[in-house]
Amino acid sequence: MQRRRFLGLTAAGAATAALAPALTACGSEGSGGGTIRLVAADYGDNATNTSKKYWDSLARAFEEKHGDIKVEVHVYSWTEVDKKVADMVAAGKAPDLAQIGAYADYAAAGKLYRADQMLSIPTQADFIASIARAGEVQRVQYGLPFVSSTRRLFYNKDLFTKAGITKAPESWSDVQAAAAKLKTAGVKIPFGLPLGPEEAPAETLLWMLGGGGGYTDKDGAYTIASDENVKTFEWLRDQLVGKGLTGPGDPGRTNRQDVFDAFVRGDVGMLNGHPTLMQQAESKSVNYQTAPLPGVKGVSKSTMGVADWMMAFKQGHREQVGLFLDFVYSTKNVLAFTGQYDLLPVTTTASNKMQQDSDRKKLWPFLEQLQDADFYPADKTSWAKVSATVKERIGTVVRSGGDPAGVLGEIQREAESTEGASR
């Protein structure tokens, strides 16, 4: 599925942007006609639900209202879209708009318009505050959130009943006790722990938050090697993986989609998941439920929020791009896209409408968490490299003999060094 990339949110591909040559603006900054180019990611998993259908339809509707502005649409899979845009930028042929996974390197290199240079005041003010802040570099918004999601604990109700578990776990000790019962009941994977390269940064952050830590502090400084984070991974190593409660595979080599597929087959008792897992589970008639994420001493005080980004390159079509973006972020169009893929809207008005739509009731718990969710430090130009290192290294710390303090310390030092070099 191409949709799976959204909820991994890495900054891969954009890392080379800061090294690209400065762009030469073309066209006019003034109002008027012309053609704007959009490169977007595909959230569909087949030809019938490809995102290109959405964007083509949206572009034609926009052109009917603004006949002198044409929109040229290019849609690529998540496995290639970031690199496509990076290559275009490096060649001096950046698109006017890119809807991809990361923006910070382009912003730091001075290649993007600020949000207030393009959007009308009502559109800019309508972004959910917590998500909009994640699009800022030095308190200036360059990344426009496009779609979002939060995470919850998914559990198989039939397997819980079989194991004699009557309610969802709220603390890590509850998780361990439930996983032990599931193992005794013959469940193949009591707790799915995907610390493999597909989504290691996300699973890592979820556990960090549950342990009272995170990638950064409230001031944005890296805290990867904090005592809280070290204790979190020591607990995972000793109390979950070490007790054989994550199944026969190596969590450090297990990807998220592997665990999702196993959950859909009925082989997983519980795991951390996002809304699109509901579609997959329902398609196979899995009797599941969701609950808030467990934390070290009770329900976690926070969950992870993720977002994919829209950004506008300085290609000389600022006003035309602004008109199109105001159209893109209209409530009707936001709900049309998020509704197609079971994602969460990034604007307050669309969010409020979703909360009033009983057909979207299953998304309400995810939506309610969005205002206070913690996001990746996507505003940091160092995040691309840090994310890649987490993918490579974090799985080793939960193996027998793993060294959480040592590995997290190394990642911390690399993060600080990379961040310092980018200033």
- Residue 393 C-beta-side C-alpha neighbours within 13 Å: 18
The pLDDT score that the predictor gives to residue 143 is 95
A 10 A CB-CB count for 331 gives 17
Q: CA-to-CA distance for 318 and 353, rounded, in angstroms? A: 30
The pLDDT score that the predictor gives to residue 87 is 95
Under DSSP, is residue 366 helix (H, G, I), strand (E, B) or coil? helix
Q: What is the CATH number of domain 152-302+382-421?
A: 3.40.190.10
Q: CA-to-CA distance for 99 and 114, rounded, in angstroms? A: 15
Closest CA to 329 of 68, 59, 149, 146: 146
The pLDDT score that the predictor gives to residue 423 is 64
Secondary structure of the chain: what % helix, strand, coil (to 5)?
45, 15, 35
The pLDDT score that the predictor gives to residue 248 is 95
Domain with CATH 3.40.190.10 in the chain: 3-149+305-375, 152-302+382-421
CATH of region 3-149+305-375, choose from 2.120.10.30, 1.20.1250.20, 3.40.190.10, 3.40.50.300: 3.40.190.10
How much is the pTM? 0.82
The pLDDT score that the predictor gives to residue 312 is 98
Question: pLDDT tens digits, residue range 280-308?
Answer: 899 999 999 999 999 999 999 889 998 89
Q: Which residues of the chain have pLDDT under 70?
A: 1-31, 422-423
The strand pairing partners of 307, in sequence order, are 148
A 10 A CB-CB count for 180 gives 16
Question: pLDDT tens digits, residue range 191-221?
Answer: 999 999 888 999 999 999 999 999 999 888 9
The pLDDT score that the predictor gives to residue 257 is 87
Enter the DSSP assignment of 123. Answer: H
Torsion angle, CA of 364/366/371/377, rounded to 10 degrees? -160
Task: Provide the terminal-to-terminal Cα distance of the chain, rounded to the nearest Å.
Answer: 37
